[in-house]
Amino acid sequence: MRELDERAYRLQQQVDADMLQQLKLAGQQQQQAVSSPTKRQKAVNAAAAAAKEAELAERLEANMNELVKLSDEKLNIATQIYDYIDRHITKLDKDCKAFDAEIAKERQRLGLPPVEPTVGGGSVDTGGGGGKRKRKDGGGEQRKLTPEEQYQQALAMADPSEPKYCHCQRISFGEMIACENPDCPYEWFHFGCVGLTEENRPKGKWYCQLCRKQLKLK
């Protein structure tokens, strides 16, 4: 495509130059018609100008035809690219549906309840409360899963490279809370692993037991 653009650019420059030459030639003819002393000289000048005009006109026509040809070729390539991308997207959509079906079968095999599709593995709520942060999975109205069910559900859909959190060294699942110490080796903790529930959720900054000892906090 880039090569076609360069060829078209060079042709367009040649067309512009030839059109400018035609204008100059027309001006010269008018000037010679006035200044030529004899009819013979006028005839010679007119013949030379006509030959030059014919040459320019022929070259202009050839270059314009070539420009049209290049435009058609570029359009054809663009159409082929569009068709290729469209086929690729269609195939990708089919592969995604097949992957979703495999996940559903795996969840059924593990005895996990079906869930609505979600984007990513959960959401992080960074709203108010003195720096308190929490991490929890999305979902619609359904039976609240036990911590073990939440873990198995997250594990079934997790990427092999999913990072491990908490002192239990398991992946992210259910509600989680972050230690406010930026140097905390675990960063995030599962509510159940640190004895937290919806009822006793901390309202201010929270530090894990390890960091509380290191920072000598009460």
Task: Please choose, from the candidates 145, 171, 146, 169, the residue with its C-alpha nearest in 3D space to the C-alpha of residue 156.
Answer: 171
Q: Residue 118: inside a domain, yes or no?
A: no
128 & 177 share domain: yes
6 & 106 share domain: yes
pLDDT tens figures, 14-62: 888 877 877 777 776 666 666 656 667 666 666 777 777 788 888 888 8
Give the pair of three-digit tokens for residue 59: 């070259």
* Longest CA span, the chain: 116
Residue ranges for the binding site for Zn(2+)? 166, 168, 179, 184, 190, 193, 208, 211
Per-residue pLDDT, 189: 93
Residue ranges for the binding site? 166, 168, 179, 184, 190, 193, 208, 211
Question: For the ranges 10-19, 125-134, 189-198, which has the lowest average pLDDT?
Answer: 125-134
105 & 185 share domain: no
201 & 169 share domain: yes
Distance of CA 110 to the CA centre of its chain: 35
102 & 148 share domain: no
Query: Is the pLDDT score of 131 beyond 80?
Result: no
7 & 104 share domain: yes
How many Å apart are CA 132 and CA 147, to the nearest integer?
Answer: 21
User: Is residue 139 within 8 Å of 115, Cβ to Cβ?
Assistant: yes
Query: Is the pLDDT score of 134 beyond 80?
Result: no
Alpha-carbon radius of gyration of the chain: 38
89 & 131 share domain: no
Per-residue pLDDT, 127: 39
141 & 94 share domain: no
The counts of H helices and E strands in the chain are 4, 4
Per-residue pLDDT, 130: 39
85 & 164 share domain: no
Pairing mode, if any, of strands 188-190 and 123-125? Answer: unpaired
User: Is residue 179 within 8 Å of 186, Cβ to Cβ?
Assistant: yes
89 & 170 share domain: no
Query: Is the pLDDT score of 82 beyond 90?
Result: no
113 pLDDT band (50/70/90 cuts)?
Answer: low
- The model's pTM is 0.34
Give the domain CATH number at 133.
3.30.40.10
Query: Is the pLDDT score of 207 beyond 90?
Result: yes
Q: Among all chains, which residue has been given the structure tokens 């549906």?
A: 97
